[in-house]
Amino acid sequence: MNGMFQSKHFKLEKVSNSIYAAIAKEGGGAAANAGFVDLGEKVIVFDTFNTQQASQDLKLLAESITNHPVTWVINSHWHGDHIRGNQTFKDRMIISSESTYTKIKDVHPSRIAAQKNDMNGLTNYIQSLKDQLVQNTDAQLQYQINFLSELKSSLPTLELVLPNQTFIDKMTFHGKKQSATLFTLGGGHSLCDAMLYIPDEKVIFMGDLLFVDCHPTFFEESNLEHWATILKKVMLMEIDVAVPGHGSIGTKEDISKVTHYLSDLTAIVEGNHPIEEINIPAMYKDWGSSEVFQQNIKIAEALLNKGTPIL
């Protein structure tokens, strides 16, 4: 590996001779994990991070390590921390599911325009956090300042680049050494979540269907029942390594933990406690992003009240 170059945005981890995971560093411009796979003269990048400066580092490393240009780029789902680095690869084939493409196209232009138009607001907000930091040297606060500063430096030159090829259920990529399959089983975490499976290596990139040792984020669009069903199907595949959207590299055991998390939170919410009084169950006490738990409980309750089947 190129020992000279280290990205401040992510830590590159070698999963096998042909597969690397790029694990986001806190406070960097990545915000979510990504990675790349060398199929033999053809290289796939999975997800492009939250900023173009992070995705530029990813492209540089992918191409210098494999000695080949990136051929295909995948967007696992429509959330910004997985697609906002697309412009680094605008001359390559960028692929997502049909519904992910539509959602990126519908949501992001106005969202990015609003952020570009409010650079002053962001600058003032970052300054207010820096003022707080003087009172209180909190590592999390420092990470947030760094993260927002990366976001700010990305905005002047940020352009939204849409996927230029879509698929419905699955598509397969072939290289000289091995193949990989991109597939979706529908929506769980987001409206539609895609995964990349490399059968010869028994490795799967799962996007935000998998979080390892940190609280998975629920959204109004999440479908907890579908999410659990998808994970149970993935558990039946031959997998040694699972690369999550957030957190460290995992195994099947980590997929199972998220399935339990989904059913545990559903059971808690159905238990009719006042949700303000619910504490994090002991099993998830040590997981990162604990502030997400309370938010997840609120969303699970809202989904339940809306009549969306949760587990």
Q: What is the pLDDT of residues 250-296, one digit of tens each?
A: 999 999 999 999 999 999 998 867 877 889 999 999 999 999 999 99
Give how many domains the chain has, as a whole number: 2
Backbone angles phi, psi at 289, to 5 degrees: 55, 45
- State which residues form the domain around 222: 210-311
269/310 same-domain check: yes
d(CA 300, CA 293): 10
177/259 same-domain check: no
d(CA 21, CA 205): 9
Q: What pLDDT sits at residue 273?
A: 73
Q: Is residue 203 part of a domain?
A: no
Please report how many Cα atoms fall inside a 13 Å half-sphere around the Cα of residue 30, on the Cβ side.
25
Beta-bridge partners for 196: 182, 205
145/52 same-domain check: yes
Of 188, 223, 258, the residue at which a domain comes to its end is: 188
CA-wise closest residue to 194 among 204, 208, 180, 183:
183
Q: What pLDDT sits at residue 2?
A: 45
156/218 same-domain check: no
Read off the pTM: 0.96
Q: What is the pLDDT of residues 228-263, one digit of tens each?
A: 999 999 999 999 999 999 999 999 999 999 999 999
Residue 182, pLDDT > 60, answer: yes
233/268 same-domain check: yes
Q: What is the pLDDT of residues 72-90, one digit of tens each?
A: 999 999 999 999 999 999 9
85/180 same-domain check: yes
C-alpha angle 285-291-293 in degrees, rounded to nearest 5: 65
214/176 same-domain check: no
DSSP class of residue 283?
G
